[in-house]
Amino acid sequence: MNEPAIRLSKLVKVFGETRAVDGLDLEVPAGAVYGVLGPNGAGKTTAVRMIATLLRPDGGEATVFGHDVVREADAVRSRVSLTGQYASVDEEMTGAENLILLSRLLGHRKPAARDRAAELLEAFGLTDAAGRQVKTYSGGMRRRLDIAASILSTPDLLVLDEPTTGLDPRSRNQVWDIVRVVVAHGTTVLLTTQYLEEADRLASRIAVIDHGRLIAEGTPGELKSSVGAGSVHVRLREAADRPEAERLLAEALDAPVHLEADPVALTARIGDGRDEVAAAQASAALARLAGAGIVVDDFSLGQPSLDEVFLALTDHPATEEAAA
């Protein structure tokens, strides 16, 4: 069996009264993107800072490629690169100067450092901006430069702490592309995020944490199916039909029906774990609505979203936006 990239055992970090990380057990396989998903204050940054040796655990153990983060911190540091919510690049210098300087600090000679910088700037679409001071960069450009800086030396483990928070959809997509390229080159990526969609798209496994504890772990598909086979989403033509539709759906699906904020929308989670049963129930439900003369504009059966997964696991939404 391959050695995991990261192994956490009963990891603890306490700040005064706050147990920021509260007995976290985790195993991150090498060679893929591993997502750590959790709301504000869940303990994501605290956990990854311990993994990157920037913060000393108060209890438990963490190893990176078999090396203990406390006793063998140097060995860990030589293999890990962290791109933080707190960035590493110098605002006053240009993008190219930053990368060349960091490459020189890593021990590369000047021509090699220049070449590597030019290569990364090109790969990350920053060639045109290479000669500009970083303080003139947009958020997306800045984030790409941060990631470029952290893979100058092709780390075995790249830790990305909320790499797309605050970015527009286009910049977010660019960062996702970069992450895929990095992984294709053999680097293990540990990525924290508050975005369920991001974890779903990028990660082959996801840990859901809340209040410093692991509340679920698995592939995106496993997490979704642990909540139920699927969700039925219905949009009616007329809001006035909703009470009747709610009653008919609850009967046909034998499941509680959730009334969405949108006055024509209803959702129901189908509890049975088998896809064919869910499909049969869903089509029976649709027939009941049609039979009662209720006009349905949209009807779909899908896997629950990770938002629904989060709500089911924690009894609260993952994000402020989801709550709103």
Residues that bind ligand ATP (CB under 6 A): 15, 18, 20, 38, 40-46, 85, 194
- 35: which strand partners? 191, 206
Q: Nearer to ligand ATP by C-beta: 69 or 232?
A: 69
Q: Which does 18 bind (CB under 5 to 8 A by kind): Mg ion, ligand ATP, none?
A: ligand ATP
Q: Which does 40 bind (CB under 5 to 8 A by kind): Mg ion, ligand ATP, none?
A: ligand ATP
Helix 275-291 vs helix 242-253: angle between axes, to the nearest 10 degrees?
140
User: Residue 98: helix, strand or coil by DSSP?
Assistant: helix
- 188: which strand partners? 157
Q: Which does 42 bind (CB under 5 to 8 A by kind): Mg ion, ligand ATP, none?
A: ligand ATP
Q: How far is CA 1 from CA 4, 29, 56, 158, 194, in A?
A: 9, 10, 29, 22, 31
Answer for which of 38, 45, 69, 164 binds Mg ion (CB under 5 A) is: 45
Residues 77, 53: Cα–Cα separation, whole Å:
7
Work out how close the CB of 313 gets to ligand ATP at its nearest, in angstroms, rounded to a whole number: 16
Binding span for Mg ion by CB under 5 A among 42-50, 132-140, 144-152, 315-323: 42-50
Tokens 């939404």 map to which residue? Answer: 317
Strands 6-15 and 59-64, bridge-based pairing: antiparallel
- 28: which strand partners? 6
Q: Which does 38 bind (CB under 5 to 8 A by kind): ligand ATP, Mg ion, none?
A: ligand ATP
Q: Nearer to ligand ATP by C-beta: 53 or 94?
A: 53
Question: Kind and range of the H or E element at 180?
Answer: helix 169-184
Q: Nearer to ligand ATP by C-beta: 35 or 38?
A: 38
Measured at the alpha carbon of residue 102, what is the angle toward residues 99 and 108, in degrees to the nearest 5? Answer: 100
Work out how close the CB of 48 gets to ligand ATP at its nearest, in angstroms, rounded to a whole number: 8
Structural contact between residues 176 and 187, judged by C-beta atoms closer than 8 angstroms = no
Binding span for Mg ion by CB under 5 A among 43-51, 147-155, 202-210, 239-247: 43-51
Q: Which does 194 bind (CB under 5 to 8 A by kind): Mg ion, ligand ATP, none?
A: ligand ATP
Q: Nearer to ligand ATP by C-beta: 42 or 309?
A: 42
Q: Nearer to ligand ATP by C-beta: 77 or 211?
A: 211
Work out how close the CB of 165 gets to ligand ATP at its nearest, in angstroms, rounded to a whole number: 8
Residues 178, 283: Cα–Cα separation, whole Å:
41
Structural contact between residues 295 and 237, judged by C-beta atoms closer than 8 angstroms = yes
Judged by the rule CB under 5 A, the positions of this chain that interact with Mg ion are: 44-45
